[in-house]
Structure 1
Amino acid sequence: MPVNKRVLKNGKVRWQANYYDREHHRHFKNFDRKIDAREWLDQVTADQVTGSWVDPKKARGTVDAEAQAWLKDHSDWATSTRVRNEGAVRNYIGPRWGGVQLGQITTDAVQRWVNDMDGKPGTVRKNVGVLSSILDHAVTMRRLGVNPCKGVVLPRQVKEQRRYLSDTEVQQLVDAAGPHGFDVLVLAYCGLRFGEFAALKVSNANLTRRRLLVEQSVTEVNGTMEWSDVKNHQRRSVPYPAFLDDQMQHQVDGRPRDQLLFPGKVGTPIRESNARRDWFDRAVKDSGIGYLTPHELRHTAASLAVRSGASVLAVQRMLGHASAAMTLDTYADLFDDDLDDVMDKVTAARTAALTVAQQLQQQSRDMREPPVN
């Protein structure tokens, strides 16, 4: 791939670097200095060898066009995920990056955007995640060589302190919830997401094994109830405690298997917003336990399970997490007692070892000392 000397009409010398892509299309670029042309051509050659070369014409596409292609290619998303990603594109990505060519985005520019963005750290991280996913799509489609979001420093997300109810506090909430007390018990001891709870059908209750089969979720999205597979596609069987036997039996008796196990007022799925408005928030206030959201009953279930001796793997299966590592990362504070157990065992082992050593030393001394007449 040559670097050719060109003399312009005004006598100025220019150096033109030429190369051909895999489809035998010619590309070139002009430089004032031969060394610059050669360095650029060497880089192009290296990119072609490593497979990171991208046709410069394709990199002229805009972020908006790539975003629409990214959204279109993900027909596998749940409706709630699609709405969230479309909102991020519309409200954050489009206004700043929509008309920018893919090849013109730099890591420095993305970093300045991150630094100037208003909002909570979690919101900033999600918006950057959407932009990064769009640019990853461009890399996959060979319209961009590398993703300029890689290496961007994101704001640290401070985890909010979770609320875990005790058994006594759960009962206070149950009493205050009146006819919805059973709902509270199921959420607080089974660890279901609210959408999973709302989607349960009579057929999902196995009274013999005390199991709830969680296989769908229903969530309100833009005023419409949308059904989907459970998060992470973790279809699972969740146990419920024996003290719920009578109420669970009453819940299913004489009802068709295809009906909702916990229906709303007119037999339709419960909307979390309606539940909070109609009874949950009032019950929380009347119970005197302090501020609480329905999702914190899921955290409570994890806490009560761990307190009862459940392992990380058991909690993962109950909650439907993608991995035990995710469970441990989410609820690391609940497993602090394991560290205490480790130190107790270390202490006990050391004490036992020293005791044996002291006994052996004493036996050795006794053997060396002459008998007393």
Structure 2
Amino acid sequence: MTSGKTAATGHRPNWPRGGGPKARASPRVSVTDGAAGTSGTTASEHTKRFRTEVEAKAWSDTERGRVVINQWVSPDVGADTFRAVAEQWIRTKNHRKPKTLAGYRSILDTLVLPRWGDTPMKGITYPDLSAWIAGLSVNGSQSGTGLSASRIRQTHQLMGAVFKYAVKAGLASKNISAEIDRRHDLPETAEAEQHYLTHAQLLDFAGEAGRFETMTLILGYCGLRFGEAAALRRRDVGDKEITVRNSATYVQGQGIVETGTKTKRTRRVPVPGPVWDRLKAELPGEPDAFVFPSRKGGRLPLGEYRWAFDNALKAVQPRARATRQQEIADGGEATTPDFPTITPKGLRHTCASLAISAGANVKVVQRMLGHATAAITLDLYGHLMSDDLAGVADALDKAMAAAQKTAA
């Protein structure tokens, strides 16, 4: 049995005496804001008038039916502005990482609130919201240019989160944002092409990175995220092993902030022998000292490393092109691979590629890279494992031939 309160608001509709709205030309319903019978509550009454008793009865039957199935919504619901509800919502997210909160704040302040901040929740309609989202790809940015597909999807996701909160809190009757079809109404994000370095390319590249040579080798052979490497302290480095506990990330308005890892889990990563020899020789003495500090001794900002990274790329790419041209001139064919244009994240991809080529299975790669699940690892690098199927077949051929020879 239902209590007669509405699911969305907890309000109880007070029908006129006689069991509900009467089938007359002007039936009237009063809605009590608060639990029925609570001392001091006041009722706000909403009048609905009709031209005929038939229309009035149809309306009263529909409204009474909604009460029975707990779907009746007070006309007062949704009067709060989107800004007021969004501020309530974001206060419930203080447990999130500073960078995540800063991202929410940026989307709200630069995109959502300028358009919807002063609009009541019930005043946001599907046609208006759909048209606005479609326009973001044309002139959604503050400079008047279009937003990227990923930014548009983030904006839609945030509005959906605010509406979801509003419905649960009784501040909106429905989640209008959920009516936007993510598959058909939002732009598709282009899948970023992944580039991988060979062993020779990685060693050559690291050699051009100056004082960041060892760090570059750690990124390429151990698979750490840049923020994880920047947060490493002497106490995190054991014998041929790194314990990844934290990550350092730049947050707008706060500077570099140190938090837990992306998955909030600590992991241990082995360091290959030649890389360990370099790392061991450069380790600081103090347990709390950064392994890869900035020039000033503090946390290393991405920009400082990126300067050395980009300069290394400028050095190795022309050299690789010249080598290929010489090979073509000498023998008609280039055997040296192109040197791809990569970002620091490309070193993490390189680590996965080299590990898989060395025979590591998906669970090993997952633990090394710190992915939450093996499914994430497969989604990112499953195609590399497919490339190794031919190698598996060759190994099986040799094993079978050896077994047949033994049996004979």
Q: Which category describes the TM-score, using the shorter chain as reference length? A: 0.7 to 0.9
| 1:169 and 2:170 correspond | no
Deviation of 1:319 after TM superposition, in Å, equals 1.8
Partner of 1:324: 374
**1:192, 1:250 → 2: CA distance?**
20
> What are the equivalent positions in structure 2 for 1:1-373 lying under 5 Å apart?
1=15, 2-4=20-22, 13-17=25-29, 23-24=35-36, 28-32=46-50, 33-34=52-53, 37-38=56-57, 40-41=59-60, 44-45=63-64, 48=67, 53-118=72-137, 119-152=147-180, 153-207=185-239, 210-222=240-252, 224-252=255-283, 255-277=285-307, 279-288=308-317, 289-337=339-387
**1:322, 1:137 → 2: CA distance?**
26
Cα RMSD over matched residues? 2.7
Letter in 1 for 2:274: F
Deviation of 1:271 after TM superposition, in Å, equals 0.3
Deviation of 1:195 after TM superposition, in Å, equals 0.8
Deviation of 1:194 after TM superposition, in Å, equals 0.8
Deviation of 1:97 after TM superposition, in Å, equals 1.2
Equivalent position SS for 2:96:
coil
Deviation of 1:150 after TM superposition, in Å, equals 1.3
Partner of 1:352: none
Deviation of 1:107 after TM superposition, in Å, equals 2.8
Cα separation, partners in 2 of 1:60 and 1:247, compared to 1, 3 Å? same
* 2:206–2:213 CA contact under 8 A, matched in 1: yes
The one-character-per-residue Cα deviations of 1:339-359 (angstroms, maximum 9, x if unpaired) are 7689x69x99xxxxxxxxxxx
Structure with more helix by fraction: 1
Equivalent position SS for 1:305:
helix
* 1:17–1:37 CA contact under 8 A, matched in 2: no
Cα separation, partners in 2 of 1:270 and 1:48, compared to 1, 3 Å? farther
Deviation of 1:28 after TM superposition, in Å, equals 3.7
Cα separation, partners in 2 of 1:21 and 1:83, compared to 1, 3 Å? closer
Cα separation, partners in 2 of 1:112 and 1:242, compared to 1, 3 Å? same
* 2:357–2:388 CA contact under 8 A, matched in 1: no
Cα separation, partners in 2 of 1:193 and 1:5, compared to 1, 3 Å? same
Cα separation, partners in 2 of 1:215 and 1:29, compared to 1, 3 Å? farther
Equivalent position SS for 1:160:
coil
* 2:21–2:27 CA contact under 8 A, matched in 1: yes
Segments of structure 2 that go 5 or more residues without pairing to the other structure are 1-14, 37-42, 138-146, 318-338, 398-408
* 1:200–1:216 CA contact under 8 A, matched in 2: yes
What TM-score, normalized by structure 2, do the two folds share? 0.75
Deviation of 1:151 after TM superposition, in Å, equals 3.4
What TM-score, normalized by structure 1, do the two folds share? 0.81
**1:176, 1:69 → 2: CA distance?**
50
Segments of structure 1 that go 5 or more residues without pairing to the other structure are 7-12, 349-373
Deviation of 1:132 after TM superposition, in Å, equals 0.9
Letter in 2 for 1:219: T
The one-character-per-residue Cα deviations of 1:188-238 (angstroms, maximum 9, x if unpaired) are 11111111110011111121xx32111111112236111111113132222
Equivalent position SS for 2:242:
strand
Deviation of 1:78 after TM superposition, in Å, equals 1.1
* 2:22–2:57 CA contact under 8 A, matched in 1: no
* 2:26–2:56 CA contact under 8 A, matched in 1: no
Of all paired residues, the percent bearing the same amino acid is: 29
Cα separation, partners in 2 of 1:43 and 1:60, compared to 1, 3 Å? farther
